[in-house]
């Protein structure tokens, strides 16, 4: 299985890879998202460590059951060879109606087929008022004309 664009990355292909990841995560479909990773992909997400598709699907299922109305924007920070560093922000609410903006950085390592073999994510959550939300598109893919993280000053 191959998942273009393939390493080594250029500025353009790294940005394409980040947008593809953003689009997949905004689908909130754990099975679909898991297909971008190697079968033995190793993750650190906050303080949780997991390995493989089954663990990824279980993790994402839990995540999106808890993080409602999830909307995400990713942006490339740096890239080299088969690695991309991305920064991101996402907004979500809990089941009590409390809103949050979560900020983070991810380090990604890809195999030669363009599948992510390693994902290391550091994330912080900031409680926000609903009136402070910046991500207002309908659930799903962020529209092409919606501002980026840099455009929003994030």
Residue 6 and residue 31: Cα distance in Å, rounded? Answer: 21
pLDDT tens sequence across 61-76: 999 999 999 999 999 9
Average pLDDT of the chain to the nearest whole number: 98
Contact 135, 90 (CB under 8 A): yes
Instruction: Report the alpha-carbon distance of residue 46 to residue 67 in Å, rounded.
Output: 15
The string of pLDDT tens digits covering residues 21-78 is 999 999 999 999 999 999 999 999 999 999 999 999 999 999 999 999 999 999 999 9
Q: What is the CA radius of gyration of the chain?
A: 15
Considering the chain, what percentage of its residues have pLDDT values greater than 70? 100
Q: How far is CA 12 from CA 2, 16, 51, 59, 79, in A?
A: 18, 6, 29, 30, 10
The CATH code of the domain that includes 116 is 3.10.450.50
Instruction: Tell me whether residue 6 is in a domain.
Output: no
Q: What is the DSSP string of 45-90?
A: ETTEEEESHHHHHHHHHHHHHHSEEEEEEEEEEEEETTEEEEEEEE
Q: What is the enclosing helix (H) or strand (E) of 121?
A: strand 116-128
Residue 1's pLDDT band, with cuts at 50, 70 and 90, is confident
Supply the range of the domain harboring residue 98.
11-132
Domain count, the chain: 1
């Amino acid at each position: 299985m191959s998942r273009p664009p393939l390493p080594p990355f250029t500025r353009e292909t790294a940005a394409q890879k980040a947008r593809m990841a953003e689009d997949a995560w905004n689908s909130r479909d754990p099975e679909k998202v898991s297909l971008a990773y190697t079968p033995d992909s190793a993750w650190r997400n906050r303080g949780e460590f997991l390995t493989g598709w089954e663990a990824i699907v279980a993790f994402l299922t839990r995540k999106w059951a808890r993080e409602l109305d999830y909307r995400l924007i990713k942006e490339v920070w740096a890239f080299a060879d088969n690695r991309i560093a991305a920064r991101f922000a996402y907004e979500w609410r809990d089941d009590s109606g409390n809103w949050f903006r979560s900020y983070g950085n991810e380090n990604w390592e890809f195999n030669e087929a363009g599948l992510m073999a390693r994902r290391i994510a550091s994330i912080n959550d900031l409680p926000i008022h609903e009136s402070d939300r910046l991500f207002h598109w309908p659930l799903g893919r962020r529209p092409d004309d919606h501002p980026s993280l840099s455009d929003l000053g994030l």
